[in-house]
Structure 1
Amino acid sequence: MGKIDGWQFNDAALDDDVRKIQMAAQTRLAQTPLWTPESARGIREARARGGGLYLPVYHSPRARMIEIPGPGGVVLLRVIAPANPRGIYLHMHGGGWFMGGADLQDPRLEIIAERAQLACVSVDYRLTPEHPYPAAPDDCEAAALWILANAEAEFGTEIVTIGGESSGAHLALVTLLRLRDKHAIVLAGANLIFGFFDLTLTPSARMFGDDRIAPRTTDLRSYVRAFAPKGELTAPDISPLYADLKNLCPALFTVGTQDPLLDDSLFMYMRWLSSGNDGELAVYAGGIHNFIAFPSRIAQEAEDRAIAFLKHVSCQ
């Protein structure tokens, strides 16, 4: 049986709390409306309200908003920062490019702000299906350039890291590539959590099927069609797994074994190393998509490792 970081790919050895999360996810997702372009707005609004089938919503009293110019109008940045940050964490939220928001990440960003002493800045990029590619990557690129230009004045530091979850990890990596290729800029580090890096679908995504423990294969295909209805899906700006990955920053890839996007992280990690970059891979047995949002030992371990990584790259 293969191992990564000591974890066996063996469901028989799963912790009880991980099993409970899997069962709760199956129950919840079985009641969630199936995604279609027509249902996207309703699902998005229900997620933003929280409760019921969706996770509770907590808004930090510490958060403040910054408006910056973007290619499609104003882009909102949500900031949660300690008094004297050692660096900046530029964050892209997940949600299949069609839901989620910068204001739905406050608990996680409060933890990073406190434990890693980073100013967390989450980008409220434009969402699909109303705003397909390249709207979201364009907004994230604009946010990154604004942060880089204003880091010292706004936060007293010029160290910038980046990260995100799922589609947010995708946007974070696309932003890294744009910064390198268009602006000759390399950030300090990337925290990429169960990212969607191959929009043609990796084997784990193709074979995941209809198990309602996570986004199904058909859901993933629908998200992709809404995000990139035109263009070649293997274009590096759409599927960064196909990009030239040389001369990029250290990265931590985090994923669970029960995630349809498992192969995205496995493949990207190996390509990252083979391109000459520093990288770490953390795979958590039994972890479903978004497992870090549910209390469990593996969620705590993933949080601890991400904090340690962000601290390390922010001190270089």
Structure 2
Amino acid sequence: MSGSNPFDPKLYTADAISAETKAINDAIIKAMDGAPDWWDIGAQEVRDARARGEGPFPLAPKSPRARTIEIDGPASNKGGKIALRVIAPDSPKGVYLHIHGGGWTLGAADQQDPLLERIADKVGLACVSVEYRLAPEHPYPAGPDDCEAAAVWLAKNVKKEFGTDKLTIGGESAGGHLSAVTILRMRDRHGYTGFKGANLVFGAFDMSMTPSQRAFGNERLILRTLDIQKFGDAFMPPHVDRRDPDVSPLYADLKGLCPALFTVGTRDALLDDSLFMYTRWIAAGNEAELGIYPGGAHGFVAFPGALAAAANAQADAFLKRVVG
């Protein structure tokens, strides 16, 4: 946890998991028992159910402060627009480009308003969340292309729109993955290395599957091995090399990147992704922090409790520091 040595073996034992976290995990497993899989009933039906607050995640109320900006999409969007959901304080100190999770298949920019409000109020950042196209209707490279287009637009317009040129980026799960991909595309395709920091929360960084992804098994604690496989198949067409750095940033040249915070729980199938990406980020000469949270399931920051509060506080402190 925050302030602990992330490589202390004790953090990874059952004894390190609090009674509260165990109870949260048990409740998640119970809530997901017998729930239909999205690939059986269709992604849109699950998206609609999530929007109604059905499923394992708490319903996130919509912020009355939110507004939408529409920008031009990339060439792969054939003239379509991209919606950016904005929640901002007065006189923001910087901007947080947020990319939501959901396995590249589920989720929406308006389903984490409380998270964005927290960052706006506690860190002083204008939060801009990308409504990127989702698989399987829009497989790779649609989602990454939309996130790149949003980053390009912000890099050009951030000062005019928000009165600051300090740009940060981050997201959860698939959003952590897409954030890393966007940072790399901005460096390699646009020569932009201006991100002040990246908040990468239980991201997927190896689409060929890390050992923890393969070994997790079938326990319905948000994300099983089978879920990872199905999400990957929906997102990536068969011809895509799953170790191409544009889909698996773990294999990219990571030199010259911004400071990053990697956050993950020990009961997450994506544990290795953060452990491996953190060490590669450091080995490339970049600054990084690693937050390990005992017993945290995939998505744990969305569930009320001390573990989520500690992780969110570490993220807020990191973002405050990198924007000065």
TM-score by length of structure 1 reads 0.96
Q: How does 1:1-316 map to 2 (within 5 A)?
A: 4=6, 8-36=11-39, 39-51=42-54, 53-71=56-74, 72=77, 73-186=80-193, 187-229=195-237, 230-315=239-324
TM-aligned CA deviation for residue 297 of structure 1: 1.1
TM-aligned CA deviation for residue 31 of structure 1: 3.3
Matches of 1:297 and 1:53, distance apart in 2: 18
Please give the secondary structure, in 1, of the residue aligned with 2:116: helix
TM-aligned CA deviation for residue 133 of structure 1: 0.2
CA contact (8 A) 2:199 2:315 kept: yes
CA contact (8 A) 1:3 1:9 kept: no
Runs of 4+ in 1 over 6 A off after TM superposition: none
Matches of 1:51 and 1:215, distance apart in 2: 17
Cα–Cα, structure 1 residues 255 and 274, in superposed 2: closer, same or farther, change >3 Å? same
Name the amino acid aligned to 1:136: G
Farther-moved stretch of structure 1 (280-289 vs 207-216):
207-216
- CA displacement 1:145-174 (0-9 Å, x = unmatched): 111111111100000000000000000000
Q: Which runs of 5+ in 2 are unaligned?
A: none
**Root-mean-square deviation over aligned CA pairs:** 1.4
Matches of 2:122 and 2:184, distance apart in 1: 28
- CA displacement 1:271-311 (0-9 Å, x = unmatched): 00001000000000000000001111111110111001001
Cα–Cα, structure 1 residues 53 and 279, in superposed 2: closer, same or farther, change >3 Å? closer
Q: Which runs of 5+ in 1 are unaligned?
A: none
Aligned residues: 314
Matches of 1:52 and 1:233, distance apart in 2: 30
Name the amino acid aligned to 2:70: E
TM-aligned CA deviation for residue 57 of structure 1: 3.2
Matches of 2:288 and 2:58, distance apart in 1: 31
Please give the secondary structure, in 2, of the residue aligned with 1:234: coil
Farther-moved stretch of structure 1 (45-54 vs 211-220):
45-54
Matches of 1:285 and 1:53, distance apart in 2: 20
Matches of 2:160 and 2:56, distance apart in 1: 42
TM-score by length of structure 2 reads 0.94
CA contact (8 A) 2:63 2:114 kept: yes
CA contact (8 A) 2:58 2:303 kept: no
Farther-moved stretch of structure 1 (209-218 vs 120-129):
209-218
Please give the secondary structure, in 2, of the residue aligned with 1:4: coil
TM-aligned CA deviation for residue 144 of structure 1: 0.5
CA contact (8 A) 1:47 1:55 kept: no
CA contact (8 A) 1:49 1:57 kept: no
CA contact (8 A) 1:161 1:190 kept: yes
Name the amino acid aligned to 2:159: E
CA contact (8 A) 1:32 1:53 kept: no
CA contact (8 A) 1:68 1:74 kept: yes
Cα–Cα, structure 1 residues 128 and 249, in superposed 2: closer, same or farther, change >3 Å? same
Name the amino acid aligned to 1:284: Y
TM-aligned CA deviation for residue 5 of structure 1: 7.0
Name the amino acid aligned to 1:122: S
Farther-moved stretch of structure 1 (103-112 vs 213-222):
213-222
Name the amino acid aligned to 2:50: R
- CA displacement 1:73-92 (0-9 Å, x = unmatched): 10000000000100000000
TM-aligned CA deviation for residue 52 of structure 1: 5.6
